[in-house]
A and B are shown apart, each in its own frame.
Chain A
Amino acid sequence: MKQVLMGNHALSYGAKVSRAQVISAYPITPQTEVVELLSKMCASGELKAKFIKVESEHSAMAALIGASATGVRTFTATSSQGLAHMHEMLHWAAGARTPIVMGNVNRAFAPPWSVWTEQNDSLSQRDTGWMQLYAQNNQEVLDSVIQAYKVAETFDLPAMVILAAFVLSHTSETVEIPKQEKVDEFLPPYEREYKLDTDQPHAFGGLADPDNYFELRYKIQKAMEKAAVKWEEVGEEFEEIFGRKYGLVETYKVSDAKNLIVSSATIASTARNAVDALRSKGIKVGLLRIRVFRPFPAKQIRAILNSVDKAIVIDRNIGFGASGIFYQEVKAAMYNEKNTPPIFGVVTGLGGRDVSSKDIIEIYQSVIREEEPKSDIIWKGLKE
């Protein structure tokens, strides 16, 4: 059934058709519509879930960890300050191996206050053990929630589906809401092997000394590595049932590309227009969109960057004291490759400053003249 949905509501419908059983959330601009619609769905019985109206995001995540550890499917959503507030519990969710799925609306951090889009909030959490996925349209937001549950529950790793503030969260697009029977076919109920159950009394998360802790961390990393393979498998299975294909990355006109633009989320979708405009002038440029950021798709990135002359990574974020974060990770993945091209890093659009297709064309044309990057950050769109 096709409906016109804002990005936030695509998250709500994703949770609904995935049959989330316990939802616990705290409102924050620009996520509020996610939880308002889910509240309505729970109240009317349209979604048979318990909605705990917690008093903070830290509590939202703690409640879901408790619920997931008891063996039910869980969902929440948040943004920036809220995501930061639950940071301690994000680590807890990964360590406790609870396959929680969360929607995060990318919003810039305060101070100063901002409600506009930037990726620092989710990227600040990249080492917590959560899988991370950056969506470029509302259909992908909804579909990714369903896929995230499948991968998360296979490896007992939590996952966040990320969308840009306002650009996606509040933009209405036509979205196909998958039929419930088809989602049920794709996503069976969650079965947790070791859960809080008086039939099997265990303690969970007890003190692990240096003789025991290391291996438990190793297991999380191994699960992430297997999850990278599973995301591709799940993408293929999803295509068979629903007719839409998603992978760890998305390529656009790369097969004969001399140079590459690498980006994520809504900058990538704008970059597609820029690529088309450049191509119409005969410039052989392609686009690589990184969709799943954790686990980092190094294999897929190497396969594509190995055959281009130059790559430009466009970051709508910054790792202060270093450089754009996708840039750092792409460079690191390519470092040991024999054929690694020069990789340029552009930081733009922070705090929601608009990035148009014209901006991306200008970025491309100015950067491509350089042989080698002269610095780790090329700022674009900044007031001089």
Chain B
Amino acid sequence: MNLKIPKEEIMGHGNLACQGCGATLAMRHALKALGKDTIIVLPACCWTVIDGPFPHSLVDVPLFHTAFAAAASTASGVKAALEIQGKDTNVVAWTGDGATYDIGLGTLSGAAERNDDMIYVCYDNEAYMNTGIQRSSSTPIGAWTTTTPVESPKKSRKKDMISIMAAHRIPYIATASIAYPEDMIEKFKKARDIKGMRFLLVFCPCPTGWKYAPQLTVKLARLAVRSKIFPLLEIENGVKWKLTKDITRPIPVTDYLKLQGRFKHLNDEKLEEIQKIVDEDWDILLRKTEK
């Protein structure tokens, strides 16, 4: 059996994540791709807790905890210092959707505009999970969260973070899903060997926040891709868009949505609306990927 995935574990045992945590699986594979010559910069997010309390740490690489909005800026500083020291270590900002889509968007945009040399990873579980499942601008339309209760579920669409990053014309952008670890590892390895700002968005289902039994985490990450809700793509220099997985026979969004408690209040009309939005967004995406 030829393993495409590196065997060595850099993540370590005994993490504090929930059962079936997508974000933990994401880090496990990301570290396999990045290797030990990596420094992680970690703002407030689930991983702040998952890595473990002082004086313990889960990962076998240097890790710097920083403030919620400060991941990209702290990473810029770490990289500048390493350059002064003549070192080539990869600096990786490992952030949740809260830090990326919301409170840290300005700092991320600043680092991207300067094309600072770092790999910025957003593991997206579509809400502020660490503080108890409050909505973020990454929360999809119609979803329940504690701040978008069923009486008033999320009204606005999920923010299009990929287009925002593409507008910065950074060297490399990619999306990945934990259901496709070979693809994810390939993209992380590719990102590792490019200089400048690299942005990777990793889709990470969350059993606690999305309200489903934990064994479905990988399945949901797969269905999100197959239903076109989460496209797998790469963008070079912000202008050359490429689908890395074409979905020729999509599954209906209901197959994905109905498995999650956070969508169970949606009526047929709302489900149709969501299908329509997903189809339209896919068409727009296809036009961007045309040669």
A pairs with B = yes
B52 contacts the other chain (CB 8 A): yes
A367 contacts the other chain (CB 8 A): no
- Asked if B74 and A63 sit within 8 Å, CB to CB, the answer is yes
- Asked if A72 and B76 sit within 8 Å, CB to CB, the answer is no
B3 contacts the other chain (CB 8 A): no
- Asked if B37 and A58 sit within 8 Å, CB to CB, the answer is no
- Asked if A50 and B37 sit within 8 Å, CB to CB, the answer is no
**Could you count the A-B residue pairs with CB atoms below 8 Å apart for me: how many are there?**
161
Q: Mark B84-121, 1 if CB is under 8 A from A, else 0.
A: 11000100000000000000001101100110100000
- Asked if A207 and B49 sit within 8 Å, CB to CB, the answer is yes
**Distance in angstroms between the alpha carbons of A21 and B51 in the assembled complex:** 31
- Asked if A59 and B110 sit within 8 Å, CB to CB, the answer is yes
Q: Which of A31-69 contact B (CB under 8 A)?
A: 49-50, 52-56, 58-60, 62-69
- Asked if B80 and A208 sit within 8 Å, CB to CB, the answer is no
Contacts of A52 in B (CB 8 A): 76-77, 80, 114, 116
- Interface-facing stretch out of B63-71, B184-192, B257-265, B274-282: B63-71
Question: Which residue of the partner chain, among B36, B75, B113, contacts A66 with CB atoms under 8 Å?
Answer: B75
Contacts of A207 in B (CB 8 A): 48-49, 52-54
A197 contacts the other chain (CB 8 A): yes
Contacts of A69 in B (CB 8 A): 64, 78
**Distance in angstroms between the alpha carbons of A64 and B85 in the assembled complex:** 15
B39 contacts the other chain (CB 8 A): yes
How many Å from the CB of A141 to the closest CB on chain B? 25
**Distance in angstroms between the alpha carbons of A267 and B224 in the assembled complex:** 66
A209 contacts the other chain (CB 8 A): yes
Residue among B72, B77, B82, B110 with max Cβ neighbours from chain A (10 Å)? B77
- Asked if B78 and A67 sit within 8 Å, CB to CB, the answer is yes
B41 contacts the other chain (CB 8 A): yes
A198 touching B39 in the complex, CB below 8 Å, given contacts A62-B66, A67-B78: yes
How many Å from the CB of A85 to the closest CB on chain B? 11
- Asked if B81 and A22 sit within 8 Å, CB to CB, the answer is yes
What is the size, in residues, of chain B's interface with A at 8 Å between Cβ atoms? 47
A191 contacts the other chain (CB 8 A): no
A280 contacts the other chain (CB 8 A): no
A24 contacts the other chain (CB 8 A): yes
- Asked if B89 and A198 sit within 8 Å, CB to CB, the answer is yes
Q: Which of B21-78 contact A (CB under 8 A)?
A: 36-39, 41, 48-49, 51-57, 59-67, 69-70, 72-78
- Asked if A208 and B66 sit within 8 Å, CB to CB, the answer is no
- Asked if A66 and B65 sit within 8 Å, CB to CB, the answer is no
A54 touching B48 in the complex, CB below 8 Å, given contacts A203-B65, A208-B53: no
- Asked if B57 and A202 sit within 8 Å, CB to CB, the answer is yes
- Asked if B66 and A67 sit within 8 Å, CB to CB, the answer is no
**Distance in angstroms between the alpha carbons of A88 and B44 in the assembled complex:** 13
Contacts of B246 in A (CB 8 A): none
- Asked if A66 and B74 sit within 8 Å, CB to CB, the answer is yes
Q: Which residue of B lies closest to A64 (CB)?
A: B77
Q: Which residue of B lies closest to A22 (CB)?
A: B80
How many Å from the CB of B39 to the closest CB on chain A? 5
Question: Which residue of the partner chain, among A65, A208, A212, contacts B77 with CB atoms under 8 Å?
Answer: A65
- Asked if A70 and B81 sit within 8 Å, CB to CB, the answer is yes
- Asked if B54 and A198 sit within 8 Å, CB to CB, the answer is no
How many Å from the CB of B107 to the closest CB on chain A? 5
Question: Which residue of the partner chain, among B63, B77, B81, contacts A204 with CB atoms under 8 Å?
Answer: B63
- Asked if B107 and A56 sit within 8 Å, CB to CB, the answer is yes
A351 contacts the other chain (CB 8 A): no
A71 contacts the other chain (CB 8 A): yes
B83 contacts the other chain (CB 8 A): yes
Contacts of A298 in B (CB 8 A): none
Contacts of A111 in B (CB 8 A): none
Known: A203-B54, A205-B54. 4 other contacts (CB 8 A): A70-B81, A92-B67, A207-B53, A212-B54
B residues with a Cβ closer than 8 A to A are: 36-39, 41, 48-49, 51-57, 59-67, 69-70, 72-85, 89, 106-107, 109-110, 113-114, 116
The 3 closest A-B pairs by CB, nearest first: A66-B77, A55-B110, A63-B77
